[in-house]
A and B are shown apart, each in its own frame.
Chain A
Amino acid sequence: MAENSSLALLTAVPAPTGGADWLSKLRRTAVANAERTGLPGVRTEAWKFTNLNALKALEPVAATGTAEIARPAAFADLEAVELHLSNGMLSHTGDLPDGVELVDLADPTAAPDWVSKTLGTIAETGPHPFTAINTGSFTGGVALRIKRGTMVETPILLMVDTRGQDAGGEQTVAAHPRVLVVVEDGASADLVELHTGAGAYVNNAVAEIVIGKDARLGHYKHQSESDAAFHIAMTAVRCADSSTYDAFALLTGARLSRNEVRATLAGRHIEYRINGGYLACGDQHVDTSTFIDHAEPDCASHELYKGVLADRAHGVFQGKILVRPHAQKTDGYQMNRALLLSREAEINSKPELEIYADDVKCSHGATVGELEDDQLFYLMARGISRERARAMLVAAYVDEAIDQIQREPVREAFRTAAADWMQKHIAGAPASEGV
């Protein structure tokens, strides 16, 4: 069922030729996988709630050239080391702290082992067509290595921006940014990933994350693509013994977005936290799909997503937790809460637990709600207008998810980013420092 549409995305970028054997082999397999499966339809279980027809109708051309990337206002004051990926290519590298090594993936021919032996091994291309397309055709990206025992204090700010070069922005462009982060044993770092852009484009991003023993990565993503954009992202994570992954995704942009996070907890005593918030209005479609593979005993996973859907926005949450027979004492928590602000807004929530171990604690839940009448009344009975009261309650609702971000300066930036979205889209919303 290979469809031309997948090839359109694939051919949007001239297939890189030459290069090292390991890379050519990786790309050949990926291209074969992409051509075999084609783009998923709604009959594909993993995509049943996200219709890709609008994306399939596109005939994008490769995003070329690079542009300056500006920080979104909410992140203006965050002390950070900037890395820019413009149209999928590394276009700016700030002063990296000691113990951090960077490889530009535009030319990984002479890449060190930690790149060549890892890239493509965490994000699988067989079952995931978009990952396959990215792997087959990425023209750039960045690999980061946090060396053994290094504590990186300043967050690394990875700014991913996509936009066409023609002034009119009439031609849809496609970029396939690629990211690899290897946090070695005992190291610690924070990565803040921002996705922005202008005009109509497809940002098909793949990030592979490897976290070593006793290591920690804070990984915080804000997707605020342009209104006409398609954002398809795969984050694939592998954690070793006693490591911590603290992730958050704030999804506010794009016409259609899919944020998929897949993890293998391949050691004991791992603390795996993926939380997030999705805020959508107009005709936006926002899909969050997560998979957690509890492969070893004694690990904890925590997943709280909160959504606010206005107008005709459509949210999707698919969360699967697999607990393998050997993974005793697993402690898994998953919750998706959606707040619908209009009768036409919609949420599809599909929690899925697959548990083969008998001594585990796993809970999951999904709620859909509207604002509570008694809370609105209480605020209004103190003189606060209905509009303002609604906005305050929405902000407070989202805050509960944002509070999950462990790193404080980053948490405040995300709080501001969420408040900025509400200022723009929810009447009467308080200013960023308001609630």
Chain B
Amino acid sequence: MALLEIKNLHATVDGKPILKGIDLSVEAGQVHAIMGPNGSGKSTLSYVLAGREGYEVTEGSVRLDGRDLLEMETDERAVAGVFLAMQYPVELPGVTGMTFLREAVNARRKAAGEDEIDAMGFLKMVRAKAKTLGVTDDMLKRAVNVGFSGGEKKRNEILQMAVLEPKFCILDETDSGLDIDALKVVSEGVNALRSAGRSMLVITHYQRLLSHIEPDVIHVLANGRIQKTGGKELALELEKNGYADFAEAAA
């Protein structure tokens, strides 16, 4: 059984149909990429999976490890192992990076019936992981994402992912707004998290991210449906021809 199993998923935003029947299954340990033109429904898919309010599922099912994801609240999904690295990470004035991470970890421990994490050990662990991602101590002490550059925000997302060790990661346009150096750091961070038990869904408009994070499978999403599925060669094909074929197919 696949780790994530999406069947015939339909979703609306403000009553407008955006996802129109998505079928997708991601095996444990696999990295799938979803590419597609703007407005194809890529971000909507990520929010529907994470459980954001205002994204209404009208048909279909999503299962993680066999459990019905759509039945769960946003926080329950996160505890169950879903992680969404956001395209636009939100600023949290007054909430420091360390507090944010500690609260997130303790929420998981609480759900598992464990005691709160030891503060000193946690600090050490976070610092070690932060270092490999170029997240400074200062960034951890400051309010989450407040005054961070685009690159810092994305590195901070990957740090959260590294600390929370989710089963299923969704990376929504993680490459947007990054220069080549930041893209390398972020990609290395993501690659370091690839493991046999963990799957990823990498959502991107451009092929460039996929030369750093090599996917096992690539899907083309257009007009709310997966139009084509293939291997790495599909990304190169899209790079050359663009999404014009699919836009026409959609229209």
> Is B237 interfacial (CB-CB < 8 Å)?
no
Chain A proximity of B99: nearest CB distance (Å): 6
Q: Which of B101-109, B181-189, B200-208 forms part of the interface with chain A?
A: B101-109
Complex Cα–Cα for A375 and B93 (A): 10
Contact yes or no, B92 A383, CB < 8 A: no
Complex Cα–Cα for A382 and B73 (A): 12
CB < 8 Å: which of A373, A385, A388, A396 contacts B92? Answer: A396
> Is A379 interfacial (CB-CB < 8 Å)?
yes
> Is B218 interfacial (CB-CB < 8 Å)?
no
Q: Knowing A385-B107, A388-B103, say if A377 contacts B74 (CB, 8 Å).
A: yes
Complex Cα–Cα for A382 and B102 (A): 11
Contact yes or no, A382 B160, CB < 8 A: yes
Per-residue 0/1 for A366-386: is the Cβ within 8 Å of any B Cβ (1 yes, 0 no)? 000000111101111111111
| Residues of B in contact with A, size category | 20 to 34
- With a cutoff of 8 Å between Cβ atoms, the chain B residues found around residue A392 in the complex are 95, 99, 103
Contact yes or no, A382 B164, CB < 8 A: yes
> Is A79 interfacial (CB-CB < 8 Å)?
no
Contact yes or no, A384 B75, CB < 8 A: yes
Contact yes or no, B94 A384, CB < 8 A: no
Contact yes or no, B53 A388, CB < 8 A: no
Complex Cα–Cα for A381 and B55 (A): 14
Complex Cα–Cα for A392 and B164 (A): 19
- With a cutoff of 8 Å between Cβ atoms, the chain B residues found around residue A373 in the complex are 53
- With a cutoff of 8 Å between Cβ atoms, the chain A residues found around residue B79 in the complex are 383
Q: Knowing A377-B53, A380-B73, say if A396 contacts B94 (CB, 8 Å).
A: yes
How many A-B contacts if CB must be within 8 Å?
A: 83
> Is B228 interfacial (CB-CB < 8 Å)?
no
B51-110 with Cβ < 8 A to chain A: 51-53, 73-75, 77-79, 83-84, 86, 89-96, 99-100, 103-104, 107-108
Contact yes or no, B53 A383, CB < 8 A: no
Contact yes or no, B94 A399, CB < 8 A: yes
Contact yes or no, B50 A381, CB < 8 A: yes
**Chain B: which residue is nearest A372 at the CB level?**
B90
Contact yes or no, A379 B94, CB < 8 A: no
- With a cutoff of 8 Å between Cβ atoms, the chain A residues found around residue B93 in the complex are 396-397, 400
Contact yes or no, A386 B103, CB < 8 A: no
28 example contacts (A-B, Cβ-Cβ < 8 A) are as follows: A375-B90, A375-B91, A375-B92, A377-B52, A378-B89, A378-B92, A380-B78, A381-B50, A381-B52, A381-B75, A381-B77, A381-B83, A382-B100, A383-B78, A383-B108, A383-B164, A386-B73, A386-B75, A388-B103, A388-B107, A389-B75, A392-B99, A393-B95, A396-B92, A399-B94, A400-B94, A430-B103, A435-B96
Q: Which chain B residues have a beta carbon within 8 Å of chain A's beta carbons?
A: 50-53, 73-75, 77-79, 83-84, 86, 89-96, 99-100, 103-104, 107-108, 111, 143, 160, 164
Q: Which chain A residues have a beta carbon within 8 Å of chain B's beta carbons?
A: 372-375, 377-386, 388-389, 392-393, 395-397, 399-400, 430, 434-435
